[in-house]
Amino acid sequence: MVRVGVDAGVRDELLKGFPPEATFVRIPSQPAEAMEVDFWLLPFFRKDAPQVFQNLRGVKVVQSMMAGVDWILPWLPKDVTLCDGRGIHDTSTSEYVLAAILAAQKRFPLYRDRQNRQEWRNLGDSGDELIDSGGANTSLYKVMQDDLSGKTVLIVGYGSIGAAIERRLKAFDANVLRIARRARPEPVVHAIGALPELLPQADIVVLIVPITQETKGLIGAAELALMKRGALLVNASRGPVVATGDLVSALEEKRIRAVLDVVDPEPLPVGHALWTAPNCFITPHIGGATPGFIVRGFKLAAEQVRRFAAGEPLDNVVTEDGY
């Protein structure tokens, strides 16, 4: 038998796909006594996880249902196997990124603001420098939005989510450039060292890297300066990947645009300059949060428990690289 630790509030229907070897141990937010668990499921970020872990005995595997495990690494003992949620965010986060790109290209946040003010006014009347500089033909008509078709999208962090983003972009005839920690031949993925070379080529830059010592501050003043004037930055990774002060400066100078699902600091305090920065749309870290995400997470967990019970290698084991 495998003692599987789950949150006390997990619904029974989410546990139906687990193998018969699984015995569930429901863990309250504040355990009153020590609890024996072999395999602990962490369905989402929980601040009390280090304290709860102190009350667990016999833990051999911790399965996170989030792609990022940076919040777990500091307190989890090295002799406990940690597995991340790689794959379960592919659908929700890639759809978020595509929606962010389309909304920004079509200027939906701007028009929503105008709807709230009951203003019938298009971009051609606004003096929007970024969109009005779209080429020689823009003087012939009022430019009110932009296309995704034909644009070059640079995906920084080409893992399973990055690949899912590319699959969705193909339907819009976008060109894709790829960057990962290491270069790969098929499809062509560039190493992270190629970032300065590829940034000037991109109309849209998508950040989907894990947070590690190497990726903190990956995008700063130098990198933002390499982006095309009017290019769009979409951050769906972690806030500290981008140097906030440098991003605010680039936005206030109206050199780039941004859609941010993550920021640094997070939550973003009232009065922070990012709230009012021009050409910036912010969502409160919701890119992976859909009903389907939790179903996919428990499906992954069930398969991992089956592997564990059968003595098979686990998927998504986190290495010293942090992912």
Tally Cβ neighbours within 10 Å of residue 157.
Answer: 23
Three-class SS state of 240:
helix
Three-class SS state of 91:
helix
Three-class SS state of 40:
strand
User: Residue type at 48?
Assistant: D
Q: In degrees to the nearest 10, what's the CA dihedral of 48, 50, 55, 56?
A: 110
Q: How far apart are CA 176 and CA 171, in angstroms?
A: 12
Three-class SS state of 42:
strand
Catalogue the active-site residues. 238, 266, 285
Q: How far apart are CA 258 and CA 280, in angstroms?
A: 5
Contact 233, 256 (CB under 8 A): yes
Contact 273, 245 (CB under 8 A): no
* Helix runs in 106-255, H state only: 108-116, 129-132, 160-170, 195-198, 221-226, 244-252
Contact 290, 92 (CB under 8 A): yes
Task: Please give the structure tokens belonging to residue 153.
Answer: 């999208």
Task: Please give the structure tokens belonging to residue 241.
Answer: 């990947």
Instruction: Supply the Cα-derived Rg of the chain in whole angstroms.
Output: 22
User: Residue type at 290?
Assistant: T
Contact 208, 68 (CB under 8 A): no
Strand partners, 152: 175
Contact 288, 92 (CB under 8 A): yes
